[in-house]
Structure 1
Amino acid sequence: MSKSLLRSTGTVSALTFLSRLLGFVRDMLYARLFGAGAGMDAFNVAFRIPNLMRRLVAEGAFSQAFVPVFSEYRAQRSPEELKRLVDEVAGTLGAVLLLLTALGMIGAPLLVWLFASGFSSEPAKFALTADMLRITFPYILFIALTAFAGGILNSCGKFAVPALTPVLLNLCMIGAALWAAPHFAEPTLALAWGVCIAGVFQLLYQLPALRALALLPRPRWGWASAGVQRILQLMLPAMLGSSAAQINLLINTQLASTLPTGSVSWLYYSDRLVEFTLGIFGAALGTVILPKLARQHADAAPAAFSATLDWGLRWSLLIGVPSTVALMILAGPLLATLFMHGEFTAHDVVMTTRSLVAYGSGLVAFMLIKVLAPGFYARQDTRTPVRYGLVSIGVNIGLQLLLVQWLAHAGLALSTALASFINAGLLLVRLLRDGHYVPVPGWWRFGLHLLLGNLAMAAFLLWGAGDLAQWYTATTSERLLHLAWLVAGGMAVYAVTCLGTGLRLRDLVARAA
């Protein structure tokens, strides 16, 4: 069964890699065509607001609440009851989101002021952001329904279609940047339309797979039904608990809007590189592990539940720690290679490097949360993560107010990373204390393998990266070849060192129940 888990994680990771790769192409186009000026600052805020709500309502709170209830119905109820649950959730969720979308479009200027009040000192920039937000806000309606469909498919073991869906977002936004932008007086407005159109396509793409499972919903209002009420009870506290990091990022945006022009965009490009790595494995692992844990909880199998958590934590560290180390060491070369073209200058590389090093330091914590939080949501416990999420947000705000004075936008990124470590630590300690997670023997030996492997890789990367100034003067092809050599060599050094000191991947494959 652990091989099935690893195979599913590999499938999601591979498809997510394709999406993230296209995301890089998209962001490279943005850097070349639009740089880090006022237009990109406006778009980043206009996209970040509905994107945050997507993670809060759709991929965050809703998925964490819906999947365990759906899994329980699928295991213990009749097909008719399961289909009724799907219909009622679709109708209720759709109606609520339609109202939310209308309110968001009407109140766009207020939302911009709430989340980027610094823009109010530049009326043209503020107005542009509000106009873009009216265009991008319907994305939350379509993508939340897409996440609902994806939750059904993931719970039924159909991971490929939901994992491939984000590709459509990147294709639409690339098309908007290349072909639509030149036809707009303000080119970045085309990007906002690309977001909205992508939401429609992503939802439509899921529907045939639902029909094949005989679970294509016929929406009906079901606010008072028992299943919908259970999901709502789990969902409301989970809106903070599962998305504390995203709320922290939005707070970053608010404070960054008060800093010099370009700060929002520097944070955006940093976040994109961190999300690339996180999405390839961390998010994929969280997607696969939640339905698995939910089934084990429904089947009353605590030993298997604990073993699955142990498996997820080991893989998170095996991938997350070297990814963190490499991202911090190669921050400058990565940015120079991927984004230093056209309007994105060497100064932008320097400023973005500062925030990327800070964000990158928290990558392993972000990955661990993707595994630890499902350990609570699978048991339909949303109250505990929300308390820890609130602690994380409070710590983040305090650190931001302190660090922004000395580190500017990089201080905002560093505070988010540190707050995520606190969140992950609290989740882990609680699972251990309550006995829901009992570590499998061998952690000290596993930790030694990781330490030696990462030390060897770090030494190689520091030696091979050289001075950042040489990356500025190199051609694009020279940068790409140098970066590819560093990445491949670093991976090889890490793998050889870990395997040479006795780490056996077959042991990790065999650990999950």
Structure 2
Amino acid sequence: MAVATLASRVAGFLRILVLAAALGLGGRLLDTYNLANTVPNAVYELIVGGTMASIVVPLLTRAALREPDGGVLYAQRLLSLIVYVLGAVTVLAVVAAPLLIDLYAPGFTPDQRDLAIVFSRFFLPQILFYGVSATTGAILNIRGRFATGAWAPLVNSVIVIAVGLVYLAIGGATGTGLTTGELLLLAVGTTAGVFAQALLVVWALRRSGFPIRLHLDPRGIAIRRIGKLGVWVLVAVVASQTLTAAATRAASWGGAGGITAFQNASAVYLVPFAVIAVSVMTAMLPRLSEYAARGEHQRVTVGLSRAVRTALVVMAPIAAAFVLLGPTVAVVLFDHGNSDPATVRVLGLVLTSFGLTLVPFTSYMILQRGLYALQDTRTSALITALVAAVGVAGCAVAGAVLPKRDIVIGIPVAYAVAYLAGLIVTALVLRRRLGHIDGWRLVRTHLRVLAATAAGAGCAGLVLWVTGPASWTGALLTLLGAVAAGGAGYLLAGRLMRLAELRHLLNTALPGLRTW
């Protein structure tokens, strides 16, 4: 599963790079395509996505343990309900496509709006495919089969990468005036990737011996119970999607390339979080839940503190790298093909701003797992709503105050303020619930990490100052040199300050460094 997840994320990142080169980073076409392809994901998350892991999987597991048939009938009825609900939602979304586009991108030109509506009507059936893929994947998981679900997103990315390469090879347009063939290649090819992902998971479920059958009457799965359990999850999802919509709307006012600069920079900044922080959170949640169930709040506190400090020693230098090297990273990754150099520069500045968000966002997400372990979804949802409110207000201020081209740079700053507010409130709530949150140790570790990060940033900044602006090859060499110098400076400073969390990580990952 770990190998499959890493491969899928690498392929997903390559997909972003290929589409940027083929459709033209900074052009109106890529903004239009990305926005239209965002809508089905947002609608799916709003209807089903947020409840899948927190509600559907536990219910399927319970049915598999308690029902005489191993939960087969329950799973069939649940799959039927998902298909019927998402099928109806898909039809409604296709009809309402103009309203959805106007909601997310009021700053589009008339040509962009028209093309986005056409794209979205090809893309919106993905809502149903995502639902089928997630539900069948959950059924596979409770039957002890994990591999196919982990590999399936890779198929999606490979297909879309192929579409982007073909589009680049035929010299497709980078404006909104597409030929019928170019339009169909992008629209059908993109949705074909999601369909193939769903088809692979359904095939694997069928091959496992599970009888796939839709029931005309899906009742008998305690729909009311699912609704009650999902109320607070829905509140959190609505809040998150509201913030995403506000950020996208603000980015659309930034002119051509604004939405793409924001989304691509966001994708880059989320890579270390997904690889490192999510791994930490996945590993710690079962233990925290066990401690909380036993009333061992001291162990919950220790576990949360350790997770925050462990993630901090890795994420802080990465955040500093984004702040210092954001423009250089953008040139190396996106200055290819039909990309506009001016938009690449803006993307780099957006990535710099996102560097301010990485640490508070990571710590906030980790502490939220403490509330999950305590089974307090209500408080978690209310804090998520607070974060969304602060973020939406920040995006509105950015749109009203900043120059048009700088609006997209201000959005990550709004995110940073929002997640910092959420982090503080979550910490205060947990302190009241648990008695304490290991505050002094957290403060000491943050100060030491800050000092070590400053030392590493100084070394990286020296390399950046010596090399100066350069071509793509020069930017690559500068990036490699700055990362190497910054990493060495951070590790040396961490050793001098006896940064225990960094020592533990290195000793675990590299047993040969026991003398650290």
Judge same fold: TM > 0.5, yes or no.
yes
- Return closer, same or farther for 1:140/1:279 CA change in 2, 3 Å cut-off: farther
1:195 pairs, out of 185, 190, 209, with 190
CA contact (8 A) 2:20 2:30 kept: no
Moved more, 292-301 or 23-32: 292-301
- Return closer, same or farther for 1:434/1:149 CA change in 2, 3 Å cut-off: farther
1:459 equivalent in structure 2: 458
1:138 equivalent in structure 2: 125
How far off is 1:332 after superposition? 0.5
Higher relative contact order (CA 8 A, sep 6+): 1
2:270 equivalent in structure 1: 275
1:23 equivalent in structure 2: 12
How far off is 1:209 after superposition? 6.0
1:409 equivalent in structure 2: 408
How far off is 1:239 after superposition? 3.0
Separation in 1 of the partners of 2:485 and 2:14? 24
2:483 pairs, out of 474, 487, 498, with 487
TM-score normalized by structure 1? 0.83
1:394 pairs, out of 389, 397, 402, with 389
Aligned runs of 1:206-355 on 2, under 5 Å?
206-207=201-202, 218-220=213-215, 225=220, 228-242=223-237, 244-290=239-285, 293=288, 305-355=300-350
1:45 equivalent in structure 2: 35
Separation in 1 of the partners of 2:487 and 2:58? 37
Between the two proteins, the alignment pairs up a number of residues equal to 494
- Return closer, same or farther for 1:114/1:331 CA change in 2, 3 Å cut-off: same
CA contact (8 A) 1:70 1:152 kept: yes
Separation in 1 of the partners of 2:506 and 2:290? 20
CA contact (8 A) 1:325 1:454 kept: yes
1:5 equivalent in structure 2: none
Name the amino acid aligned to 2:130. Answer: I
Q: Secondary structure at the match of 1:466?
A: helix
Separation in 2 of the partners of 1:303 and 1:155? 32
Moved more, 93-102 or 328-337: 93-102
Q: Secondary structure at the match of 1:236?
A: helix
CA contact (8 A) 1:52 1:247 kept: no
Describe the superposition over 1:53-112 as per-residue Cα deviations: whole angstroms up to 9, x where unpaired. Answer: 3444454343233345456667x7467464454333322222211111111112111211
How far off is 1:495 after superposition? 3.4
How far off is 1:292 after superposition? 5.6
Separation in 1 of the partners of 2:336 and 2:133? 35
How far off is 1:510 after superposition? 12
Name the amino acid aligned to 1:237. Answer: W
2:110 equivalent in structure 1: 123
CA contact (8 A) 2:240 2:385 kept: no
Aligned residues with identical type, % of pairs: 25
Separation in 2 of the partners of 1:48 and 1:210? 28
How far off is 1:389 after superposition? 2.0
Separation in 1 of the partners of 2:495 and 2:436? 27
- Return closer, same or farther for 1:65/1:149 CA change in 2, 3 Å cut-off: same
Name the amino acid aligned to 2:152. Answer: T
1:4 equivalent in structure 2: none
Name the amino acid aligned to 1:493. Answer: G
Moved more, 126-135 or 217-226: 217-226
- Return closer, same or farther for 1:188/1:389 CA change in 2, 3 Å cut-off: farther
CA contact (8 A) 1:248 1:396 kept: yes
Do residues 106 (structure 1) and 102 (structure 2) align? no
- Return closer, same or farther for 1:447/1:113 CA change in 2, 3 Å cut-off: closer
Aligned runs of 1:411-430 on 2, under 5 Å?
411-430=410-429
Name the amino acid aligned to 2:179. Answer: A
How far off is 1:408 after superposition? 1.9
2:77 equivalent in structure 1: 88
CA contact (8 A) 1:241 1:386 kept: yes
Moved more, 134-143 or 294-303: 294-303
- Return closer, same or farther for 1:288/1:235 CA change in 2, 3 Å cut-off: farther
How far off is 1:142 after superposition? 1.7
- Return closer, same or farther for 1:374/1:232 CA change in 2, 3 Å cut-off: farther
CA contact (8 A) 1:283 1:370 kept: no
Name the amino acid aligned to 2:198. Answer: L
2:514 equivalent in structure 1: none
Separation in 2 of the partners of 1:235 and 1:403? 33
TM-score normalized by structure 2? 0.83
Separation in 1 of the partners of 2:41 and 2:27? 21
- Return closer, same or farther for 1:334/1:510 CA change in 2, 3 Å cut-off: closer
CA contact (8 A) 1:307 1:440 kept: no
Moved more, 161-170 or 171-180: 161-170
How far off is 1:307 after superposition? 4.8
Q: Secondary structure at the match of 2:107?
A: helix
- Return closer, same or farther for 1:372/1:79 CA change in 2, 3 Å cut-off: farther
2:493 pairs, out of 483, 486, 497, with 497
Separation in 2 of the partners of 1:295 and 1:220? 37
CA contact (8 A) 1:453 1:498 kept: yes
Name the amino acid aligned to 2:153. Answer: P
CA contact (8 A) 2:319 2:359 kept: yes
CA contact (8 A) 2:7 2:154 kept: yes
Larger C-alpha radius of gyration, 1 or 2? 2
Separation in 2 of the partners of 1:228 and 1:468? 62
CA contact (8 A) 1:282 1:367 kept: yes
Name the amino acid aligned to 1:40. Answer: L
Moved more, 37-46 or 217-226: 217-226
How far off is 1:204 after superposition? 3.2
CA contact (8 A) 1:256 1:409 kept: yes
CA contact (8 A) 1:16 1:279 kept: no
CA contact (8 A) 1:71 1:294 kept: no
CA contact (8 A) 2:332 2:472 kept: no
CA contact (8 A) 1:252 1:412 kept: yes
Q: Secondary structure at the match of 1:330?
A: helix
Q: Secondary structure at the match of 2:376?
A: coil
2:162 equivalent in structure 1: 175
